[in-house]
């Protein structure tokens, strides 16, 4: 009997995986939403700037009232970035004939910047942090968990105790401590403009202390896989330990990590918003979904109490919905992927 080619088996496995995955309509809908979201935050800001005629950091003094309360969605405001009046209390009347511009989601706060454009830019920054930290955590977990599960003995004991040690610390408090000390030195490292200030420090902070769950998952999977027949066959023909890990074991672990990575991205989006509120990582004027909230409510060091004359619901509801819906979408997508990869698990 002739065995089927590897490419045919791969295509068949992919078809089975897609058949299982598409049964979960919530997961499919979440995947479509996330695809559109990523496309929007990548190509949306330059297109919006070109169509609307202003950028995300352009202030509009006439987009706020005398109490610095920003306008609501679909507001037309004078297209002026500075006040044309010498009276500091006369911000609502622009010179006759002044052209106007539209703020699709209203202003973002006292400066009257475009909430819609800042929401797009903020989504890019928040997802950069979430993706970068998740990738770093998964890579560390894959390496340490793979070594512990494959070699066992002393290596397993050292990695397991290190994992327990990291898990014993309250993650949020540890990130605040390091963020206000060590991370300050790399806050303004942008890799020649590739990242916004504070993004790299958050990626390193979260990624270096979120690898323990991936490590435990990989350790359990590798411990089971190393006793399988195909691994024994590779040893018999003289394959090196690193080749066995890289070629025969890690490819079986990656699909499980992909499903878990979706949950990790969702949690990292929430962590970024929380750390930003705690004045760690991304800071104003850089836009992220976390800084959009701090722009309205301040930080824990400098909170801004609710004032109906100065605050509007829109500056809170738009970034909050963006964080909530995106985190739920990643969670549902990851759950659908997990069920497709392991249909017998509950």
Q: Sign of torsion, CA 69 74 79 85? A: negative
Write the pLDDT tens digit of every residue in 96-107: 778 889 999 998
Q: Are residues 101 and 237 in the same domain?
A: no
pLDDT more than 70, % of the chain: 89
Please check the confidence at residue 265 and state whether its pLDDT lies above 90.
yes
Q: Are residues 177 and 298 in the same domain?
A: yes
Tell me the CATH number at 185.
Answer: 1.10.3720.10
Q: Are residues 277 and 213 in the same domain?
A: yes
Q: Are residues 151 and 71 in the same domain?
A: no
9 within a domain of the structure (yes/no): no
6 within a domain of the structure (yes/no): no
162 within a domain of the structure (yes/no): yes
pLDDT of residue 85: 61
316 within a domain of the structure (yes/no): yes
Q: Are 254 and 88 in contact (CB under 8 A)?
A: no
Q: Are residues 128 and 252 in the same domain?
A: yes
Q: Are residues 162 and 195 in the same domain?
A: yes
Q: CA-to-CA distance for 275 and 179, rounded, in angstroms?
A: 9
292 within a domain of the structure (yes/no): yes
Q: Are residues 294 and 321 in the same domain?
A: yes
- Residue 132 CA neighbour count, 13 Å, CB half: 19
Here the tokens at position 124 are 């890019």
109 within a domain of the structure (yes/no): yes
Q: Are residues 210 and 289 in the same domain?
A: yes
Confidence of residue 86 (pLDDT cuts 50, 70, 90): low
pLDDT of residue 320: 92
Here the tokens at position 1 are 């009997």
Q: Are residues 102 and 190 in the same domain?
A: no
Q: CA-to-CA distance for 240 and 150, rounded, in angstroms?
A: 13
Q: Are residues 217 and 294 in the same domain?
A: yes
As for how many domains the chain has, the answer is: 2
7 within a domain of the structure (yes/no): no
232 within a domain of the structure (yes/no): yes
- CA 271 to chain CA centroid, Å, is 9
CA angle, corner 121, sides to 119 and 127, nearest 5? 95
Q: Are residues 65 and 93 in the same domain?
A: yes
Q: Find the DSSP H helices in the chain.
A: 6-21, 25-52, 115-151, 153-168, 171-179, 199-208, 212-225, 229-236, 241-243, 250-277, 289-297, 314-341
Write the pLDDT tens digit of every residue in 196-208: 888 888 898 888 8
Please check the confidence at residue 8 and state whether its pLDDT lies above 70.
no
Please check the confidence at residue 299 and state whether its pLDDT lies above 80.
no
Q: CA-to-CA distance for 221 and 133, rounded, in angstroms?
A: 22
Write the pLDDT tens digit of every residue in 153-196: 898 899 999 888 888 877 777 777 776 666 666 777 777 777 88
> Bridge-partner residues for 70, per DSSP?
64
Q: Are residues 254 and 155 in the same domain?
A: yes
Q: Domain boundary residue among 113, 138, 159?
A: 113
Please check the confidence at residue 82 and state whether its pLDDT lies above 80.
no
* 303 or 334, greater pLDDT: 334
DSSP 112-175: --BHHHHHHHHHHHHHHHHHHHHHHHHHHHHHHHHHHHHH-HHHHHHHHHHHHHHHHS-HHHHH
Domain that holds residue 85: 59-113
Confidence of residue 87 (pLDDT cuts 50, 70, 90): low
pLDDT of residue 176: 74
């Amino acid at each position: 009997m002739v065995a089927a080619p590897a490419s045919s088996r791969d295509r068949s496995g992919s078809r089975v995986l897609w058949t299982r995955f598409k049964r979960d309509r919530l997961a499919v809908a979440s995947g479509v939403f996330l695809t559109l979201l990523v496309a929007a935050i990548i190509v949306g800001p330059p297109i919006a700037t070109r169509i609307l005629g202003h950028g995300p950091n352009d202030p509009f003094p006439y987009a706020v009232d005398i109490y610095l309360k920003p306008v609501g969605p679909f507001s037309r405001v004078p297209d002026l970035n500075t006040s044309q009046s010498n009276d500091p209390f006369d911000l609502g009347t622009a010179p006759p004939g002044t052209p106007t511009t539209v703020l699709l989601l209203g202003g973002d706060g006292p400066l009257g910047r475009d909430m819609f454009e800042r929401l797009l830019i903020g989504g890019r920054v928040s997802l950069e942090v979430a993706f970068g930290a998740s990738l770093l955590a998964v890579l560390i977990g894959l390496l340490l968990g793979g070594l512990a599960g494959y070699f066992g003995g002393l290596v397993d004991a050292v990695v397991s105790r290190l994992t327990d040690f990291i898990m014993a610390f309250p993650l949020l408090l540890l990130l605040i401590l390091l963020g206000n000390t060590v991370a300050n030195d790399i806050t303004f490292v942008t890799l020649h403009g590739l990242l916004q200030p504070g993004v790299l420090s958050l990626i390193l902070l979260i990624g270096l202390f979120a690898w323990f769950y991936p490590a435990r998952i990989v350790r359990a999977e590798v411990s089971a896989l190393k006793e399988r027949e195909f691994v024994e066959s590779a040893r018999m023909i003289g394959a090196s330990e690193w080749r066995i890990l890289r070629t025969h074991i890690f490819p079986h672990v990656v699909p499980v990590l992909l499903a878990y990575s979706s949950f990790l991205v969702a949690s990292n989006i929430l962590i970024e918003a929380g750390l930003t509120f705690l004045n760690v990582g991304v800071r104003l004027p850089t836009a992220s979904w976390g800084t959009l909230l701090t722009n309205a409510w301040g930080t824990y060091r400098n909170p801004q109490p609710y004032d109906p004359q100065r605050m509007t619901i829109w500056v809170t509801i738009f970034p909050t919905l963006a964080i909530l819906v995106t985190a739920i979408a990643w969670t549902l997508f990851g759950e659908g992927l997990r069920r497709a990869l392991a249909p017998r698990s509950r």
